Amino acid sequence: MSLLLLILSVILFSVFLSYFFWKIKWGTLPDNSPRVLAYHKVTGFEFGGTWIPPGRFISQIDHLVDLGFNFINEDEFIAVIEGRRSGNKKEILLTFDDGYREFLFNVAPALKKRGIGALIFLVTSYIGKYNYWELNLPWRRFKHLDWDEIKGLSKMGFSFGSHSMSHRDLKRLNPEELRDELILSRQRLSEELHEEIKSFSYPFGRVNSRVRDETRRAGYRVAFSMCPPFSNSEINPFVLRREGVYIIDNIFSLKNKLSSGTLFWIEDLKGRFINGVSVLTPLIKKYF
Ligand SMILES: [Zn+2]
């Protein structure tokens, strides 16, 4: 009995210690800022954690609507970040990294029907091609949207940002390669879509001060990471936070990601752990 009590006390003490460490280091999200959700693949099974089935995606969106969340578009979001409009924590910007073809069938019709927009980040060297930048595992090859499909989605009202040219870890590139990834991808998208490309999403969420400053110089207005290393109350237009939604998530965890409530800290630590693990993809890719 006393051993059980000891184990329980150690667990409780560890939980409290983690909470206080988290509270001091990161803390809660600001109330005056819209939340940003980051999805990847909305599709059938794959070996990985960044996918969710279409049915679950749609029920998540409907549930968020029922809870009173208001979905905003890229321009409305940027207006908040640039101080031209006030924002609040009941607003959500939906983002999709990598630009998979499944978006056409599994996401676009459902969002269109509900009058909800989304910002899709494209990898310009892989437009219309399979995702060979990803780890080579069974059931892991997915096709990216091609230019005709992208232009069709643009006409439907969806907006597009850059997710680099080749989806490499930008922190590991030399200055010239880094500028190419940022500038050439923006120019290509802008030429094809005949519009300003305002947003960038760092591949694997990987960014440091050098990558951030170069992204600003490359002509973007905002850039998104996943879980920035600084306090959650701080808003940096070139290292914006997003809440990743993964296969392990359900409505309960999704609500916690979006709230500043009691269990938000667990979701924040979970997101930071998953984001930390994602660095393995470029590393494994390089050495194997
Ligand atoms: Zn990506």
Q: What is the 3-state secondary structure (H, E, C) of 32-91?
A: CCCEEEEECEECCCCCCCCEECHHHHHHHHHHHHHCCCEEECHHHHHHHHCCCCCCCCCE
Tokens linked to 211 = 């990558």
**Residue 167 CA, ligand 1 centroid: distance in Å:** 6
In tens, the pLDDT along 264-274 reads: 999 999 999 98
Distance (Å) from CA 121 to ligand 1 centroid: 8
State the distance from the centre of ligand 1 to the C-alpha of 248, rounded, in angstroms.
18
| Confidence bin at 288 (pLDDT 50/70/90) | low
Work out the average pLDDT over 281-286: 74
pLDDT computed for residue 287 by the predictor: 72
- Higher per-residue confidence, 279 vs 85: 85
Q: How far is the CA of 203 from the centre of ligand 1 (A)?
A: 5
Question: Global pTM?
Answer: 0.93
The rounded distance, in Å, linking the Cα atoms of 282 and 285 is 5
Q: Torsions phi, psi of 231, nearest 5? A: -55, 145
Distance 258 CA to ligand 1 centre (A): 21
How confident is the model over 164-212, as pLDDT tens digits? 999 999 999 999 999 999 999 999 999 999 999 999 999 999 999 999 9
Average pLDDT, rounded, for the chain: 92
In this structure, of 108-122, 138-152, 232-246, the range with the lowest mean pLDDT score is: 138-152
1 confidence band (pLDDT: 50, 70, 90): low
Domain 27-287 in this protein, CATH class: alpha beta
Counts of helices then strands in the chain (DSSP H, E): 10, 10
Measuring CA to CA, which residue among 206, 238, 242, 194 is closest to residue 219? 238
Ligand 1 centre to CA of 163 (Å) is: 7
Count the alpha carbons within 13 Å of 216 in the hemisphere toward its beta carbon.
11
